[in-house]
Amino acid sequence: MRHWSEEDPWADDDPGPLVRPYTVTGGRTSSVRPGIELISLISTVRPPTRDQRLQPEQNRLLALCREPTALVEVAARLDLPVAVVRVLLDDLLGHRLVSVSQPSAVGSSDARFVQAVIDGIRRI
């Protein structure tokens, strides 16, 4: 029987995330709701009820989006691919815990919105 040792060529100092994205999404690979853009603003509408069991990533998403936050910024802060965040959003939208404002609904001429997107991209 072989024991793990420091010389093991398969040992990795930084194994990366222990939970793969497909596990976080329950095996789903795409969003049911099309049209959620990278600059779409996500806002938490209400906290989950005790009956709504959410994944840790979904709880973190809700906490991040207490103020409207662009999808691309949420993905960066959660350190998850945008496609994974879109799938998580599907569940949260289904529970009516978040809202998504499309860029056209927000208005591209609103200087505050444009500045918020620029600031979010800079933080990435």
Q: What is the mean pLDDT of residues 105-111?
A: 57
pLDDT digits (tens, 9 = 90+) for 36-66: 888 889 999 999 988 888 888 899 999 999 9
- Interacting residues of 105 by C-beta distance below 8 A, sequence separation 6+: none
Please state the φ and ψ torsions of residue 99, each to the nearest 5 degrees: -125, 155
Vertex 51 angle, CA 45 and 55, to 5°: 70
| pLDDT given at position 53 | 85
Confidence (pLDDT) at 114: 78
Tokens of 36: 């959620």
What's the CA gap between 101 and 117, in Å, rounded?
13
Tell me: pLDDT of 27 over 70: no
Q: How far apart are CA 10 and CA 4, in angstroms?
A: 9
pTM of this prediction? Answer: 0.65
Q: Which pLDDT does position 25 carry in this prediction?
A: 65
